[in-house]
Amino acid sequence: MARVLITGSSDGLGLMAGQLLVNDGHAVTLHARSDERAADARRALPAAEHVVVGDLSSIEATRRVAEEANALGRFDAVIHNAGIGYREVQRTETVDGLSHVFAVNVLAPYLLTALVTPPDRLVYLSSGMHLGGNPDLDDLQWRLRRWNGSQAYSDSKLFDVVLAFAVARRWPDVRSNAVSPGWVATKMGGRGASDDLSLGPLTQAWLAVSDDPAADVTGGLFYHQRPGDVNPAARSVELQEGLLERCGDLTGTRLPDR
């Protein structure tokens, strides 16, 4: 039995992955951004052991999520599932004055990775849209460019892969991978999504707990339990280090050495 924390799991793919893991006998801790959403999560998956609560758009609240998670004991795996989609029609700022998309999709998984006791496995949810992501670090908060929600999302999903690969390189004893779940009909994906929804949560659950040798790897991106196409920029050590440095500057927390 593995202990698994899944962020953004009050509904959608996070909740579905939690259900798969519970069905296989694993101990799951869900995460919701509010008490109301936490109650929804408990009703949807009463077999979950715990639900941690906090809005990942806030640096302070993300720190509290990490504290709450650590108080529950060390996890064997953490699935960084929480995310904002590509439909924000205008740039929205968080309480910290950051781009909402960047704060939730990139900065929160960075900060949780830095603060939560390192597990054996880390899984970061990306997207096939990361292939069109812009690796330029100069305007992460979209203050200089005209807002483009689709591009901001693509950039953030590229940075999720960059983060996964950076952690894999920095922490060789932790298996750190990214997942493209496919375009599936969740609230984020929309009703027109063409991929198989039943396959959407499988790969992240598999990477989190499976004894399959194909899942016992690090520094990869997977689509439906197979290696997926990767934006070549994600392999750049310079980009990886640059992203870690900027996230460290924004949060005041550096990724620990191991």
Residues known to be catalytic: 153, 157
Q: How far apart are CA 179 and CA 200, in angstroms?
A: 10
Instruction: Tell me which residue of 198, 203, 89 sits closest to 153, measured CA to CA.
Output: 89
Instruction: Tell me which residue of 95, 112, 3 sits closest to 57, measured CA to CA.
Output: 95
Query: Do 180 and 222 meet the contact criterion of CB atoms below 8 Å apart?
Result: yes
Q: How far apart are CA 171 and CA 144, in angstroms?
A: 34
User: How is the beta sheet containing 226-227 ordered, strand by strand?
Assistant: 50-53, 27-32, 3-6, 77-80, 121-125, 175-179, 221-223, 226-227
Q: How far apart are CA 127 and CA 140, in angstroms?
A: 18
